[in-house]
Amino acid sequence: MTSDTASRAWVIGAGLAGLSAAVRLAGLGWSVTVFEAAGQPGGRCRSFHDSALDRTIDNGNHLLLSGNRSAMALLRDVGAPDPLIEVAPARIPFIDLGSGARWTLRPNRGPLPWWVCAPGRRVPDTGLADYAAALKLRRAGDRTVAELFDGPPGSARRRLYERFWEPMAVAVLNTEAAAGAARLLWPVMAEILLRGETAFRPCIARTGLSESFADPAVAWLEARGGRFRPGVRIRSVSFGDAAVSALNAGGEAVAVAPGEPVVSAVPPAACAALFPDVATPAEYRPIVNLHYVVGEGVALPGGLPLLSLIGGTAQWLFLRGDVLSVTISAGVAEAGLPHDRLAATVWEEIRRAAGAAGPVRSGPVPPRPVPSCRVITEKRATIAQTPAQ
């Protein structure tokens, strides 16, 4: 659709989905207005200044890979200036807290994944045949990730499941592998892993998620006549002739002319309130993030800005400046823990990881007392991506 028949377009929600839709519409010539109930854009991909830490932190950490076409297209379309720190060539380091084993995934260039044949590039104590099981994703049906990939205790299949498939599934689906729909991993395989090293590079927001994504998108829209209206909740949607005819924008009646597109990019609960006839998922999963101020001169084991931990509470560590951030996806139990207890548990795991890999700074290992920490829990971060939903 183009703007031949109407000039205005309306977007409800200024998360990355809503902003991406708004940018696409504006690129086609529409005059776009974006409504956002919160006071800033970005949704669950935003940053803010935390007064207790006196640092800019993200509300949640996101493992972004360079092969994510949608995210990279948004950055390209709005001309975001130098928004990401990219790990090139692609490397993702892991530490198993139980065994102390360390390894780094290092995919090769090109679509043929010969890296799974090289012991130094793949998960240790696994073989080529174990990776061939990935082809089952295309016909996974209603099986869960665990049902598709887990194996007997002590087997190479179990090791690959625990050290690759399970952490990947939890990170991608934000759903425990025992419940997560395996078939939803196939698009990720096709978009990332089967395109080689250049699509597998981890990317981290250079300053913050807002500065990298939302702020440049809003600035780009406004420079082209678009409007961003923060703090304005769409309370209801009116219909006429099988199309949206009006929006109740914070008590203001906004008329929608025939032919003007309206895009809803809101979470399922908000969608159900606006569009009662639309079936929405009813089950959710949380994400818990912790942000520690660790001081200058700290480096993660392996010298990269990220690290995956296996066998503990913490799953992913991200280092930006002197803030060490931790992600716990599908953290149902962790979401209910007292913050000080959770911060202490995770900090001890970080110390164990440092001990498994040697010193993490040019001086001593981080001291035992837990440093200043902010815990952020998104209780309904995503839907539960189960076969039923």
Instruction: Tell me the residue ranges of DSSP E strands in 29-144.
Output: 31-36, 47-50, 55-58, 64-65, 84-86, 92-96, 102-105
Architecture of the domain whose range is 8-53+207-274: 3-Layer(bba) Sandwich (3.50)
pLDDT at 362 (0 to 100): 40
Other beta carbons within 10 Å of 269: 12
The 262-264 sheet, strands edge to edge: 227-230, 31-36, 8-12, 262-264
Give the residue from 77, 61, 89 showing the smallest Cα distance to 19: 77
CA distance 13 to 262: 11
The 252-255 sheet, strands edge to edge: 234-240, 243-249, 252-255
CA distance 314 to 326: 6
Domain ranges of the chain: 8-53+207-274, 108-199
The Cα-based distances of 190 to 105, 134, 194, 286, 359 in angstroms read 17, 11, 5, 26, 37
pLDDT at 3 (0 to 100): 44
**One digit per residue, pLDDT tens: the chain, 389 residues?**
444 445 999 999 999 999 999 999 999 999 999 999 999 999 999 999 999 999 999 998 888 999 999 999 999 999 999 999 999 999 999 999 999 999 999 999 998 899 999 999 999 999 888 888 888 999 999 999 999 999 999 999 999 999 999 999 999 999 999 999 999 999 988 888 889 999 999 999 999 999 999 999 999 999 999 999 999 999 999 999 889 999 999 999 999 999 999 999 999 999 999 999 999 999 999 999 999 999 888 889 888 999 999 999 999 999 999 999 999 999 999 999 999 999 999 999 999 998 755 434 444 445 568 999 999 999 999 999 999 99
pLDDT at 357 (0 to 100): 52
